[in-house]
Amino acid sequence: MSITLNALVEGQIAALANLDPTSYDPGSLNIDLINPNGPTTLRYTIHVDVDTPTLVGILKAALP
C-alpha cells in the first residue's frame, strides 16, 4: 500500500533521521515496512554536489 505524505510530515520524518532538509528530493520518502521489533529503514532520493574534476578522475580510472 502506498500513501502520500505532506511536506510537513515528510520533513518531520527526515528530522528523525537527522537528514538536512535540503539534501533529499521532496516526495521521495519510501518506507517498505515499519518494523515492529526494531529500527525501520527509510529511503529518500538524496542529492549532493561533488567536485567535478575528482569525479572525472575516478570515472576515467574505472574505465578500461
Domain limits, the chain: 7-62
Is residue 1 scored above 80 in pLDDT?
Answer: no
Q: What is the pLDDT of residues 8-47, one digit of tens each?
A: 999 999 999 999 988 999 999 999 999 999 999 999 999 9
Return the C-alpha cell found at 52.
567535478
- pTM of structure: 0.72
Report the amino acid identity of residue 44. Y
Phi-psi category of residue 34: left, alpha or beta, with phi > 0 → left and psi -120 to 50 → alpha: beta
Is residue 4 scored above 90 in pLDDT?
Answer: no
